[in-house]
Chains A and B, each alone.
Chain A
Amino acid sequence: MTLRFHILIALFATSVALTAQTVSPPLFNAFEYDDDGDLIVDEFDDFPADATIAFQTHDPSRSQLGRAAFEIDWPRRGDDDFNDLVLSYHFAENTDGTNQVVELQATVTVVAIGTETSVGAALRVSLPKGTVVKATLARDGGVPTSISSEPNTSDTIYRLFDDALLTRDAVPFANTLTGDPWINGERIELRIVLSEPISSSVFDLASPFDLFVFHTAEPGREIHQPAALPTSLADLDFIGTFSDATDLTTGRTYLSDAGLPWAIDIPEAWSHPTEGTDLATAYPDIVDWIESGGSAKRDWYRHPEENEVRP
């Protein structure tokens, strides 16, 4: 179909009531383009060559990758260097021209492995069972292969890798020791195509994505961000032991009896501490941030002691 025909269709579509959609597409100006004919002008169409997808919602943003940093000694306290496993991530909800969610995407890259212990990473996706028709995983831009969510659980969980040390070019203490050459870790892309479009309101204020890690030898030993609940595959015998003060009844989870987390989530590029360097040493401003209850030094994560972090 020609561009001119698309525009005519768009003009016509906006002049009549659309019974199959809850929203009307915007009017086009004659000089605007809509190559895929989804009634969304190309300037605003994140997928101008795909009529089934129009917009992308970014987490944390379009211009930044987030960082999830984990201490894997949970439920014991470790050395608090928050580099045992560092992952960068970008999550996206892709919607069609009527604002319905049609697919979810997650891109996760191994940034650092500050341990000799085997740990894996997984993504819990807050979708009802049965809505996913196809999920694929691609590594380092390779050919996507089909992947199934974990069996025997009511949660929708996709394992990204079982052992970080077996990802491409991985070694113990990768990118955590000062002076070692930087290793570009494996990048994993998960794409989940929904069987039929759904309203994004099903997610409400909760994120559809929960990136967590687990011990390879004890997969039930899951480590999540604070306030996240363990999955149905978690071994709850770990909860509340050693330093962990998780209270599943109140939702105060994955915090120690001293109120400290085992995972932090930074919404932008971040330099993690070097091996054995306490987070408070690498980022002295965090002391004021915590002790002020969050009112002071809010951007503590942007001001490292340069000699105490890996860029």
Chain B
Amino acid sequence: MIRIALVCALALSAAGCKSHRSRSIQNVEPKNPQTLGELAVPEDFDFALTRRVKVQVELTAGNSAVAVVQEPGRFGYDPFSAITKGVVSTGSRFDRVIRVDVHANAIPVLIYRDGAFEETAAAIDLDGIARAVFP
């Protein structure tokens, strides 16, 4: 009886150790040649990879339209690249804030009006506003 108990205890112990080893951080050795902590981070360095930009779409004349704002670099209408959409009409601007790569400097803006697309690249100004004006 004692022998059986000992065998069971050893088996359970081995199973436990194996289970623990497969889930333990203790066996993991960092292999770093350089760590984040060793870096000289510039003062006020911003770790953000994206920023929020306000897109403004205006019509100066003509019929109302659907405005489509796409991911930077994705010109030509692509529904899977559309970040936002809305309705714009003369005298009523379409405003929407979107998130883009921090280094993006222009945003593709399309309108669909009278059965056709019109497109422009709205440059992002220093205030973080990308303005697209369609005549």
Contacts and interface: CB of A to CB of B under 8 A. Distances in A.
A2 interface: no
Q: Tell me what chain A mostly uses at the interface: helix, strand, loop, or mixed.
A: loop
A290 B42 contact: yes
B115 A201 contact: no
B18 interface: no
A131 interface: no
B49 A265 contact: yes
Contacts of B3: none
B23 A46 contact: no
B42 A298 contact: no
With most chain A CB atoms within 10 A of its CB, the pick from B29, B36, B52, B115 is: B36
Nearest to A99: B86
A194 B83 CA distance: 21
B89 interface: yes
A27 B114 contact: yes
A259 B35 contact: no
A128 B111 CA distance: 32
Interface residues of B, number: 62
A143 interface: no
B37 interface: yes
Interface stretch (A147-155, A214-222, A279-287): A279-287
A13 to B, nearest CB: 10
B85 to A, nearest CB: 4
A59 B50 CA distance: 11
Given A173-B25, A291-B39, A267 B101 contact: yes
Nearest to A266: B49
Given A26-B65, A57-B83, A205 B52 contact: yes
Given A22-B92, A200-B95, A58 B84 contact: yes
A interface residue count range (under 10 / 10 to 19 / 20 to 34 / 35 or more): 35 or more
A207 B35 contact: no
Contacts of B128: 205
B19 to A, nearest CB: 10
A118 interface: no
With most chain A CB atoms within 10 A of its CB, the pick from B32, B33, B79, B101 is: B32
A41 B99 CA distance: 26
B35 A301 contact: no
B31 to A, nearest CB: 6
With most chain A CB atoms within 10 A of its CB, the pick from B31, B33, B103, B115 is: B31
29 contacts: A14-B63, A23-B87, A23-B92, A24-B89, A26-B65, A44-B68, A56-B84, A57-B85, A57-B98, A62-B79, A80-B37, A95-B86, A177-B22, A200-B97, A226-B48, A252-B44, A260-B39, A274-B28, A276-B28, A276-B29, A278-B35, A279-B36, A280-B35, A280-B38, A281-B31, A287-B34, A291-B40, A294-B45, A294-B102
Interface of A: 14, 22-27, 29, 40-41, 43-44, 46, 54-63, 77, 79-80, 93, 95, 97-99, 171-173, 177, 180, 200-201, 203-207, 226-227, 252, 258-261, 264-267, 274-281, 284, 286-287, 290-291, 293-294, 298, 301, 308
